[in-house]
Amino acid sequence: MTETLSRPAIPAAEERARLKEGVHIERSPRRIRTFFGGKLIADSDYVLLVYESKRPPAYWFPIGDVRMEYLERKEQSEQAADNIRWRLTGKGRIAQARTYTEPTGDRAALEGHLTFYWDQMDAWFEEDEQVFVHPRDPYTRVDTVHSSRHVRVEIDGVTMGEARRPILLFETGLPTRYYIPKLDVRMDLLEPTESVTRCPYKGVARYWSARVGDKLLKDIVWSYPAPIPECPKIENLLSFYNERVDLYVDGVPQGQPITPFS
């Protein structure tokens, strides 16, 4: 008899972080725009895509492509030693930006460039498509493939979903996600929530909590009702957090990966 072994947990977040150690800067071929307070603040065909250790990538604009008349330089006492900080104000809100005073070494290319705090701005566009959370990383792949694997999801011994026609989503640095049709999920055990998240690679996700006995597991299932055009196969399918359920693929327990979602 063949022994069935569970797969070890994989520290996916740590693996991803190691890929981004140090500073890496490259020119983006895309036109990038950002808005705040109903105004176009920066618009450039010459942005730099910048990776700094353990941070999502960021866009740095040539200062000549930024509407600097909308920015106010912060007081010197508020500045870090190697940074100049700026603020935008509008409609009772504040957004911030920063430049390096005299960048050297790996950051030398950032001379004369400025970056905004992404989540404080109203909207970001790569060409004419709005992008959420952070710039799309050209070194991150998101692939969706049809599979005939037998996938079963359990919580405390209760089968929440079981399918032989999942869509497998492979995303660089993250565990495989298993998307299954709603007809193969115990929807009677799920309760829709108001939670919404955004992904630069997949779109806007909606969530359900699972009620198993007296236990309520908040936002443990998600779906993309209208994913971006690059990920059409997962439309309206459901995926459970591998990190928080017992997942079996072809009868083999997968283990719970260690990620920021654990």
* Same domain flag for 150 and 122: no
Considering the domain architecture, whether residues 245 and 147 belong to the same structural domain is answered as yes
The pLDDT confidence band at residue 52, using thresholds 50, 70 and 90, is confident
> Structural domain of residue 38, as residue ranges?
20-130
Q: What pLDDT score was predicted for residue 254?
A: 94
**What pairs with residue 197 in β-bridges?**
205
pLDDT at 17 over 50: no
In a domain, 118, yes or no: yes
pLDDT above 70 as % of the chain: 89
Nearest to 40, CA basis, from 119, 125, 120: 125
CATH number at residue 111: 2.170.150.40
Whether the predicted pLDDT of 139 surpasses 90: no
- Both 45 and 83 in a single domain? yes
* 73 is a domain residue: yes
Which pLDDT does position 128 carry in this prediction? 94
- pTM comes to 0.77
Same domain, 144 and 196: yes
Show the 3-state SS of the chain: CCCCCCCCCCEHHHHHHHCCCCCEEEECCCCEEEEECCEEEEEECCCEEEECCCCCCEEEEEHHHECHHHCEECCHHHCCCCEEEEEEEECCEEEEEEEECCCCHHHHHHCCEEEECHHHCCEEEECCEECCCCCCCCCCCEEEEECCCCEEEEECCEEEEEECCCEEEEECCCCCEEEECHHHECHHHEEEEEEEEEECCCEEEEEEEEEECCEEEEEEEEEECCCCCCCHHHECCEEECHHHCEEEECCEECCCCECCCC
Say if 1 falls within a structural domain.
no
For residues 249 and 198, state if they share a domain. yes
**Res. 222: pLDDT tops 80:** yes
Q: Is residue 13 pLDDT above 60, yes or no?
A: no
pLDDT in tens, 141-173: 999 999 999 999 999 999 999 999 999 999 998
Average pLDDT of 190-203?
A: 95
Q: Quote the pLDDT of residue 49.
A: 95
User: In this predicted structure, which of 76-80, 204-208, 216-220 has the lowest mean pLDDT?
Assistant: 76-80
Give the end of a domain, one of 100, 130, 160.
Answer: 130
Residues 144 and 232 in one domain: yes
Q: Are 173 and 217 within one domain?
A: yes
Classify residue 101: in a domain, yes or no: yes
Identify whether 4 is part of a domain. no
- Among 4-13, 87-96, 117-126, top mean pLDDT goes to 117-126
Give the pLDDT confidence score for residue 78 in this predicted structure: 62
- Provide the number of structural domains found in the chain: 2
Identify the pLDDT of residue 125: 97
Q: What is the pLDDT of residue 12?
A: 42
Domain co-membership, 41 together with 93: yes
Average pLDDT of span 27-53: 94
Q: Which residue has the higher pLDDT, 244 or 260?
A: 244
pLDDT, average across residues 10-33: 68
Q: Among 63-72, 116-125, 128-137, 183-192, which is the least confidently predicted range?
A: 128-137
Residue 90: the pLDDT is: 83
Mean pLDDT of 120-135: 94
In a domain, 55, yes or no: yes
Picking from 130, 163, 189, the residue at the C-terminal end of a domain is 130
Average pLDDT, the chain: 89
pLDDT at 80 over 50: yes
Half-sphere exposure at residue 174, Cβ-oriented, CA atoms within 13 angstroms: 18
Q: How far is CA 162 from CA 154, 181, 248, in A?
A: 9, 9, 9
> In terms of domains, do 176 and 82 share one?
no
Whether the predicted pLDDT of 140 surpasses 50: yes
Structural domain includes residue 191? yes
Sign of CA pseudo-dihedral 223, 132, 247, 148 = positive
Single residue among 130, 151, 167 that ends a domain in this structure: 130
Task: Confirm whether 147 is domain-assigned.
Answer: yes
Statement to judge: residues 118 and 172 lie in one domain: no
